[in-house]
A = this chain, B = another copy of it.
Amino acid sequence: KRTQSHSFRRKLDIRGIYPPIATPFAQNELVDYQKLDENLEKYSKIPFRGLVVQGSNGEYPYLTAEERVEVVHRVRQRIPKDKLVIAGSGCESSMATVLMSEKMAQAGADAVLVVTPCFYRNRMDSRALIHHYTRVADASPVPVILYSVPGNTGLDLPVEAVLTLSQHDNIVGLKDSGGDITRIALIIHKTRKEGFQVLAGSAGFLLAAYSVGAVGGVCALANVLGHQVCQLEQLCLAGRWEEARELQYRLIEPNTAVTRKFGVVALKQAMEWSGYHGGVCRPPLQPLSEAELRQLQHDFSSQGWL
């Protein structure tokens, strides 16, 4: 049993930028693997540390268990070996999450990203979440990354739970999409000795996250502006904060458009404009209205990205 030991040197190094890739669908609403392959080929040329497969932008709640695994399998086959594949394996029950984590590992994932269960949110306190993640991390053949995304789940993984879980040998980090920079800084401060690594969950606060010690980001916008997000990473790592700030500014509005404001539907539209396969989402997600489309276009073009 690996719980609670402190040999953090063995923790997988997850520093870097990851796009949480979108899942292309064909007209019949099935996964279009051909289009996925073509996107992957393009992503392979960008200096990403790896790809996140089945994050929120992968529409994983709309995929069957089989599809979830198959997509990860496909990604692993198509991208270079040195790129990490981080697979979202979160389900509502602990039992299902353990099973899915095992399958993701078999499919070639280097790590699993486990979203907070949220349906019974009133009962998802620190005690329940520590229990859940410990069970998953004890069983998972590959390292676990915690995933807090209150915009979707209505639930923020409590700081005290993160601190406890950071001590688990098989829990290597956190993707925090909430964007509360004070919380992010506090978590980094209190978990450093464990080799715990925090990734910003959005390009909107990537510079700020680096400024307080984050080691990378899982950024929806990187599906569209991958080179630019990696450039922002490089500027931060090099301590070129002035230039970083100017680039950060120009990424905020397009980032907000493809996340908080319009979500994955807009992300896929912007991918189309940028030479990737985006396409439609599975219903009930609806296409953007005309007005939304114009706003999206403006949010990219006003910053010079279209």
Contacts from A to B (Cβ < 8 Å): 29, 56, 61-62, 64, 92-96, 117, 119-124, 127-129, 131-132, 135, 151-154, 179-182, 185-186, 188-189, 202, 204-205, 207-208, 211-213, 239, 241, 245, 248-250, 252-253, 255-256, 260, 262-265, 282-286
Contact = CB atoms under 8 A, between A and B. Distances in A.
Given A179-B180, A208-B181, A61 B119 contact: yes
Nearest to A284: B132
Chain A interface SS verdict (over half): helix
Nearest to A94: B283
A185 B265 CA distance: 25
B248 A284 contact: no
A257 to B, nearest CB: 12
A123 B259 CA distance: 11
Contacts of A151: 122
19 contacts: A61-B93, A61-B120, A62-B92, A62-B96, A64-B96, A128-B284, A128-B286, A132-B283, A179-B181, A179-B182, A180-B180, A185-B207, A185-B249, A186-B252, A189-B249, A208-B208, A208-B212, A211-B241, A241-B241
A130 B95 CA distance: 33
Contacts of A62: 92-93, 95-96
Contact of A152 (B61, B95, B121, B255): B121
Contacts of A131: 283-284, 286
Given A95-B283, A122-B260, A129-B284, A182 B211 contact: no
